[in-house]
Structure 1
């Protein structure tokens, strides 16, 4: 489908969703929020897609919310504000819950809601010149809708600092805190993203989907009898799956599994 604020491209089994409002540093408004939600919902059900790259056009990855959109929200009623905030929250959830692995290709600065986009991704590859900032407190706001993803990606203690100070921090700090998976020279960004995407596409599509869900489901759970039983059910189920049987057979028979030939 055509998009006003995004471009969506396919190369092999990899889809690339690019934020395309470079004149406002890819700040999002209600149109972009709706289009990101639609794009990730659609790509998540697309059988040919095995990985999704989230990128940005222009100097910045994403500067957060569009100021004109924020001015308009200031005049909203409480019900209108809640509905608008819920659309933003649902956009973030659409990326985080997308069954396909998401790689954030961060070439420029990511501020406020832009950090939320980064933190919904499974893998973050950033140019080593990028800066990050949770700037909401400077504007009398708070990063509420992005908080579940930022705290998971950044860690509780670092979030306690950067939520309240609204300090910018560099890519080296983001890498140390675990927000960034790999920090590279800008000239190496595309090759690094492609290498990781190729690795994802070489794996069983079903196993990749189930592994992503596994982490989300058990990361914060207590290791009790119920969780132990749940993990046993999951491995038993995937062993008996079509791709599980094919993967084990191809390994033992020293041949390429059929999903790599697709």
Structure 2
């Protein structure tokens, strides 16, 4: 029997949502994106849930887009690319606008869309071995949707360094950049993250958490939805470019590409 791609459990008012595709390094594909959005929406509406922890099984938090999915993208129409980009936008906005606090527990590399998935959460606990990065430009792609959130978490200088180089960086650098909150040893991260969540459950008002999160979102990101709509369009347009097709082909064939 095949295990579900996303696991869901609730204990002590904490919902744990787990990416469960370790054999594919928890790479994102339409099914996984849809299931994650569904489980997050379920937890957001559940009266027995106060805090949400997002984590992943295996050695990688998420490696970004799935290889088979990247192959499919080469054959999508513009309208299909818009619809697909909207699905990713909906996942990230479900996290960002969720009325409950979401904590990412990152125990492995978080790359491209996987990096965006982690950094859009309210708090991020990371093991020191984890690497982060938005590698899209190296494939002829654009980190359009994730950039809308990244630009509001760090400075323009750092955002340009991260997005325009496409280089990977350590958890310590992610902490210095303001992208994550805590770096915790692997043997301690599960307990540390859970104790943090329990402390929020036991010492804060659920309504106050919700309203404060909404206040921060509305005051710091008044134009977020408009930016995301533009990002979706840019995503779809770039997927039709020759550079994107060349970059994806070289990536799938494991060929070094000299731009």
- Report 1:1-262 matches (<5 A): 4-202=4-202, 203-220=204-221
What corresponds to 1:235 in structure 2? Answer: none
State the Cα deviation string for residues 106-125 of structure 1 (Å, max 9, x = none): 00000000011011100000
Describe the SS at the equivalent of 1:145.
Answer: helix
- Superposed displacement of residue 137, structure 1: 0.7
Q: Distance in 2 between matches of 1:180 and 1:3?
A: 30
Any unmatched runs of 5+ in structure 2?
Answer: 223-259
**Across the two proteins, how many residue pairs are aligned to each other?**
220
How far apart, in 2, do the equivalents of 1:107 and 1:152 lie?
A: 24
The offset of 1:220, in angstroms, is: 5.0
The structure with more radius of gyration:
1
1:33–1:3 CA distance, 2 compared to 1 (3 A): farther
Q: 1:12 to 1:3 in 2, by over 3 A?
A: farther
| Structure 1 residue runs of 4 or more that deviate by more than 4 Å after TM superposition | none
RMSD: 1.4
Supply the distance in 2 between the matched residues of 1:190 and 1:116 (Cα, whole angstroms). 21
Q: Deviations over 1:175-233 (max 9, x none)?
A: 11111101011111012101210121011111111111111111256xxxxxxxxxxxx
Q: For each residue in 1:9-32, what CA deviation from the matched residue of structure 2 results, as whole angstroms up to 9, or x when unmatched?
A: 111100000001101100011100
In structure 1, what is the Cα distance between the partners aligned to 2:123 and 2:188? 16
Are the aligned partners of 2:119 and 2:180 in contact in 1 as well (CA < 8 Å)?
no
| 8 Å contact from structure 1 (residues 107, 130) kept in 2 | yes
TM-score by length of 2: 0.82
Does structure 1 conserve the Cα–Cα contact (< 8 Å) formed by 2:152 and 2:221? no
Shift of 1:140: 0.5
Provide structure 1 residue ranges, at least 5 long, that are not aligned to the other structure. Answer: 222-262
